Chains A and B, each alone.
Chain A
Amino acid sequence: MYPIVEKNDLAAKVYRYVIKAPQIVKKARAGQFVILRLHEEGERIPITLADWDAVQGTITLYVQAVGKTTTMMSMMKAGDSLMDVVGPFGVPSHVEPGKTFVAIGGGFGIAAIHPIVRAHKLIGNKTISIIGSRSKDLLLMEDEMRAISDEVRIATDDGSYGTKGFVTTILKSMLEQREPVDVVLAIGPVVMMKAVADLTRPLGVQTLVSLNPIMMDGTGMCGACRVVVGNKMKFACVDGPEFDAHAVDFELLMARQKMYSPQEKISFDIFEKICEAQEHRETAAW
């Protein structure tokens, strides 16, 4: 059992969890993820390591409620326990000194870039973080990102904070103004990662993305997480999740993410009905 030590409700259905998992902390590196399971009948879901604490033996995760499992997780509280947390999985991010590193995060992607930006900062790289959200009150981790970045640039869709537009709006103007950029890393929704790749490709700027196909075991056993990079089949869990953005087949990734959509919907609808019934019962008991 893996106890939840702390839980916070953040904006936009995103929740922050601090979970006791000492054996994972010992090996955690930037760019890696864990796989967790909530209960005996639960599914295995991959979540990126946003942070870890060697002294407390805890890991920090940011999880967005999108379907049944993540919504169930959003209903858990500090003091509850997860059934399984396993990892860390994935090849750690490659960091190399003497670079200007630009990291772009959208949604839970901000949590995912956090340890990677920190790793670059630690070896003395110049770090610029571009983070975005729909509006000001939905923005995640601004303070955390400021603490580890030389510069934080913010985009909101509605212009309520920072630049009006997308994270790519900021990247585009950086590239147009010939600001020095050695490596770009983008983590977030596939459309965002694809847009970043399309911007940097003509300029030949090294660009990395962290892919999030459907996964199960995380050890290269099931083959569910296959992606195509440079016309070769790769397993994102063991060969990635970071890949060269200019070689990734994003169309395929988007299609494969929808592989179980009809089933996921059935499952979520049943779950909502049960939740409603439970609420009824609770109000009736009052």
Chain B
Amino acid sequence: MKIPRHGMPEQDPLERAKNFLEVPLGYTAEMAVEEAERCIQCKNPKCMEGCPVNVKIPQFIFHVAMGNFPLAAQTLKETNALPAVCGRVCPQEEQCEAVCTIGAKVEPVAIGRLERFVADWERMTGNVSLPVIAPPTGKKIAVIGAGPAGLTCAGDLAKLGHAVTIFEALHKPGGVLVYGIPEFRLPKQIVDAEVSFLEKLGVTIQCDFVVGMTRTVDELMNEDGFDAVFIGTGAGLPYFMGIPGENLNGVYSANEFLTRVNLMKGFEFPNHADTPVPMAKHVAVIGGGNTAMDSARTARRLPWTEKVYIVYRRSSVEMPARKEEIHHGEQEGIEFLLLTNPTRFIGNNGWLVGMECQKMELGEPDASGRRKPVPVAGSEFVLDVEAVIVATGNGSNPLINKTTPGLTTNKYGNIIADETGKTSREGVWAGGDIVIGAATVIKAMGAGKKAAAAIHEYVQSKK
């Protein structure tokens, strides 16, 4: 292998810790072609098996190597409606790139970076081709939630000729892509471009519409004439830890903090945004997932912040966040307090002034197969912080479950659905985080696709 894997040009860590501009800058056309040439075009491409939606990886990479970017884009879009998003946020290191054949000897092909390059090239050159749309079927389908699951499902159904309306509770479509994942990791103009592509396909997006409140699933089906419904409402119910002091001013859920900054543009407060954001100098983020990493890196970028900690009860090996993001966080000066667990929040006059923590050590493996953190006696210490962001996971929102009789859910409130997303209710499908719990963008998209195929079959079979 003569060429090593191409590094990704990035903004300088010290510079970027002060702005919200995207961190990786993207490949140039030359870099992309060279990187694509590293792919050996396996007869039996493992990378495709590693991809939850089976993107035709060798084919699209072949077109990049040939310099035929439009064809590369078209190939990608056959299976993946949001390549610019996936190229940025998918955990490729655990999926396609993890099983890439050449990865056994040298570094794997940078599939994610190539995906991003192709999608960006298409968007920036304005060379966006519209797929063939089937003639109208006369069927109406409601999609609830404009996150990756809902957007994908809606796009596929629109291509099949159905009249699709997405109902979204917030004022902007995108789900976690707009309210959770920060601008510096996923510029919002990319989400906007994907959304406007859907509109070009004929999808109607109705924001400010909370299913369960504004209208129920039954009303959509019985009164508004929708032939089928897809529920993709995500996992947006913050968990707290149940330790003392949790309601002090200064303790935030990651959802609140990220929504204030990302969706409400709080990073431009007070000049261009009206929504206030926490203005603490010392911030601790509890958790070790992508949400924790995003919260910490977001806090780091707010101009008044001096110190940001990640507090995680296991070791770095067990951290569920993407390695790349952990690495970016370290480069930006976030301090990682590993094997550390908060025990209580300390307040003064209703405001947080500190967080008591305890050191942990790893014991025997637990049910998850990971070694269980065990507290070290007498290791308590107090961290001086005025803000704590709790990023310890999300449950499912009960608004739809409560208002849709006959829809069965499990003990976590997740909707029970089969392989295709079919639920216990006739004509109702579900997919994404609301079914499997907090997971990934590409899994949510995969679920949206499967459900779209099943919904198509169902509505076509009904006369």
Interface residues of B in 212-229 (CB under 8 A from A): 213-215
A114 to B268, CA, bound (A): 38
Q: How near does chain B come to A191, taking the closest CB pair, in angstroms? A: 16
Contact of A255 among B214, B249, B256, B398 (CB under 8 A): B249
A226 at the binding interface (Cβ < 8 Å): yes
Instruction: Determine whether the beta carbon of A86 is less than 8 Å from that of B214.
Output: yes
A88 at the binding interface (Cβ < 8 Å): yes
Known: A37-B171, A222-B238. A262 touches B247 (CB 8 A): no
Instruction: Determine whether the beta carbon of B214 is less than 8 Å from that of A223.
Output: no
Residues on A with C-beta less than 8 A from B270 are: 263, 266-267, 270
Q: What mask results when residues 308 to 348 of chain B are scored 1 for a CB within 8 Å of chain A, else 0?
A: 00000000000000000000000000000000000000000
Q: How near does chain A come to B270, taking the closest CB pair, in angstroms? A: 4
Contact of A41 among B237, B273, B279, B350 (CB under 8 A): B273
Residues on A with C-beta less than 8 A from B237 are: 220-221
Give the contact stretch, choosing among B202-210, B414-422, B443-451.
B202-210
Which A residue sits closest to B272, measured CB to CB?
A: A41
Residues on B with C-beta less than 8 A from A223 are: 238, 240, 252-253, 255-256
Q: How near does chain A come to B424, taking the closest CB pair, in angstroms? A: 23
Of A23, A83, A86, most buried by chain B (CB within 10 Å of CB) is: A86
Contact of A222 among B171, B255, B351 (CB under 8 A): B255
A256 to B269, CA, bound (A): 20
B70 at the binding interface (Cβ < 8 Å): no
Instruction: Determine whether the beta carbon of B247 is less than 8 Å from that of A23.
Output: no
Instruction: Determine whether the beta carbon of B214 is less than 8 Å from that of A68.
Output: no
Interface residues of A in 239-259 (CB under 8 A from B): 251-252, 255-256, 258-259
Q: How near does chain A come to B301, taking the closest CB pair, in angstroms? A: 17
A264 at the binding interface (Cβ < 8 Å): yes
Which B residue sits closest to A219, measured CB to CB?
A: B169
A113 to B210, CA, bound (A): 24
Q: How near does chain A come to B271, taking the closest CB pair, in angstroms? A: 7
Interface residues of B in 133-176 (CB under 8 A from A): 169-171
B246 at the binding interface (Cβ < 8 Å): yes
Instruction: Determine whether the beta carbon of A69 is less than 8 Å from that of B274.
Output: yes
B236 at the binding interface (Cβ < 8 Å): yes
Known: A88-B214, A222-B255. A252 touches B272 (CB 8 A): no
A43 at the binding interface (Cβ < 8 Å): yes
A280 at the binding interface (Cβ < 8 Å): no
Instruction: Determine whether the beta carbon of A217 is less than 8 Å from that of B399.
Output: no
Contact of A267 among B209, B246, B259, B274 (CB under 8 A): B274
Which A residue sits closest to B268, measured CB to CB?
A: A41
A110 to B319, CA, bound (A): 52
Q: How near does chain A come to B162, taking the closest CB pair, in angstroms? A: 22
Residues on A with C-beta less than 8 A from B274 are: 41-43, 68-69, 267
Contact of B170 among A217, A220, A264 (CB under 8 A): A217
Residues on A with C-beta less than 8 A from B248 are: 255
Number of interface residues of A (CB under 8 A): 44
B-side interface mostly: loop
Known: A252-B247, A255-B350, A263-B276. A221 touches B397 (CB 8 A): yes
Known: A216-B259, A264-B276. A27 touches B213 (CB 8 A): yes
B75 at the binding interface (Cβ < 8 Å): no
Instruction: Determine whether the beta carbon of B209 is less than 8 Å from that of A23.
Output: yes
Q: What mask results when residues 10 to 31 of chain A are scored 1 for a CB within 8 Å of chain B, else 0?
A: 0000000000000110110000
Residues on A with C-beta less than 8 A from B246 are: 233
Instruction: Determine whether the beta carbon of B264 is less than 8 Å from that of A43.
Output: yes
A76 at the binding interface (Cβ < 8 Å): no
A23 to B170, CA, bound (A): 15
Instruction: Determine whether the beta carbon of B275 is less than 8 Å from that of A233.
Output: no
Which B residue sits closest to A72, measured CB to CB?
A: B274
Instruction: Determine whether the beta carbon of B171 is less than 8 Å from that of A83.
Output: yes
Known: A88-B213, A233-B246. A221 touches B277 (CB 8 A): no
Q: How near does chain A come to B123, taking the closest CB pair, in angstroms? A: 22
A66 at the binding interface (Cβ < 8 Å): no
Residues on A with C-beta less than 8 A from B209 are: 23, 86
B265 at the binding interface (Cβ < 8 Å): yes
A87 at the binding interface (Cβ < 8 Å): yes
Which B residue sits closest to A38, measured CB to CB?
A: B274
Residues on B with C-beta less than 8 A from A233 are: 240, 246-247
A157 at the binding interface (Cβ < 8 Å): no
Which B residue sits closest to A83, measured CB to CB?
A: B171
A41 to B268, CA, bound (A): 9
A280 to B332, CA, bound (A): 45
B282 at the binding interface (Cβ < 8 Å): no
Known: A220-B399, A262-B279. A87 touches B271 (CB 8 A): no
A88 to B213, CA, bound (A): 6
Instruction: Determine whether the beta carbon of A44 is less than 8 Å from that of B210.
Output: no
B359 at the binding interface (Cβ < 8 Å): no
B260 at the binding interface (Cβ < 8 Å): yes
Which B residue sits closest to A269, measured CB to CB?
A: B270
A270 to B274, CA, bound (A): 11
Known: A23-B215, A259-B249. A87 touches B210 (CB 8 A): yes
Could you write out 8 A-B pairs with CB less than 8 Å apart? A68-B274, A86-B214, A87-B214, A219-B397, A221-B397, A233-B246, A238-B399, A255-B248
Contacts A23-B214, A41-B274, A270-B271 given; 17 further ones with Cβ under 8 A?
A27-B214, A42-B274, A43-B264, A44-B275, A86-B210, A88-B213, A220-B397, A220-B398, A223-B252, A223-B255, A252-B247, A255-B248, A255-B350, A255-B351, A259-B249, A263-B270, A263-B276
Residues of chain A at the chain B interface (Cβ within 8 Å): 23-24, 26-27, 37, 41-44, 68-69, 83-89, 216-224, 226, 228, 233, 238, 251-252, 255-256, 258-260, 262-264, 266-267, 270
Which 9 residue pairs are nearest across A and B when measured between Cβ atoms? A263-B276, A255-B350, A223-B253, A86-B208, A221-B236, A43-B275, A223-B238, A222-B256, A260-B276
